[in-house]
Amino acid sequence: MISIMSKLESSVAKIMDYIGEMAEGYGGHVKWNEIAKLKADMMNVKRRWMNVDTAAFTMKCHEVGLTNEDTTEIVSLVKKVQQGRKLVPQRGYKTYRFTWEPESPADETFLRY
């Protein structure tokens, strides 16, 4: 069986490890500001999210302890980005980027939205 880590870029896995750590103190629930950070990063670093395998990503969300509800919400954000849709984070997080850089650029055709 292929591991989750081998199907997810390391920066995505590290981000979700961080999100899981933050949610741990809230019973696996992700706070609104962490969702805002994810939305902003998805808009500011689209290449990181364009080729995410959503099945592996879903497994990673569960692995880090997120609730089913939060997992569903975050996976839907990834799918929206992959469809070329725009996400709008709260104003204070508009320029937020996670510090982990993506390993490789996504196919440029996805970035023309």
Query: Running along the chain, 113 residues long, what does each successive block of 10 average in pLDDT?
Result: 67 97 94 97 95 97 97 98 95 94 57 40
- The pLDDT value recorded for residue 103 is 73
Tokens 């950070």 sit at which residue? 37
Instruction: Note the pLDDT of residue 70.
Output: 97
Phi-psi region of 65 (alpha: psi -120 to 50; beta: other; left: phi over 0): left
**Which of 74, 76, 80 lies closest to 34 in space, CA to CA?**
74
Extract the tokens encoding 6: 């081998």
- Amino acid, single-letter form, for residue 66: L
pTM of the model: 0.84
Place of tokens 């990673």: 60
Helix, strand, coil shares, percent, the chain, to 5:
60, 0, 40
